[in-house]
Amino acid sequence: MKVSKIEAVKNLMDKNPSMTAPEISKKLGIKIGYVYTMMSKVRNLNKTPQRSGTLNEMPLIQIRDDGEIHLHEVFTNDNINHPPHYTTGGIETIDFIEAKQLDYHLGNVVKYITRADHKGDRLDNLKKAQWYLNRAVFNLEK
């Protein structure tokens, strides 16, 4: 039985939770950007509801042969591992930053921009992003 790329990524993540995107990319022969996207989708869909302070480990997704993902249960947000202000839009901010291999300053630019409308004061977040961008430019110019 042929396994879709997303299912192959999910299977590796399930069997080896500490496996990195570059390792998965190499093992499956899939482009790294695609792996980061699939890992983000799998993590977002595998979020589990919190019940009495513990996580329920029941899987929440089914991946069909055509690669389509179906959610089986409504879940609450995990504010520690997958806060909603970093998961809006289908890819987690950290996955984007890692896929683009951004340094500390540019990673923070992306972080503050992506959360600007979802956490805290929008203007403060944009000013923080601007500060980190200015710092990155300053470091390149010196």
Which amino acid belongs to residue 47? Answer: K
pLDDT at 20: 83
Low-confidence ranges of the chain (pLDDT < 50): 48-61, 70-76
**pTM across the whole model:** 0.48
**What local confidence, expressed as pLDDT, does residue 3 receive?**
67
Token couple for 44: 């977002």
pLDDT at 137: 96
Judged by DSSP in three states, 42 sits in helix
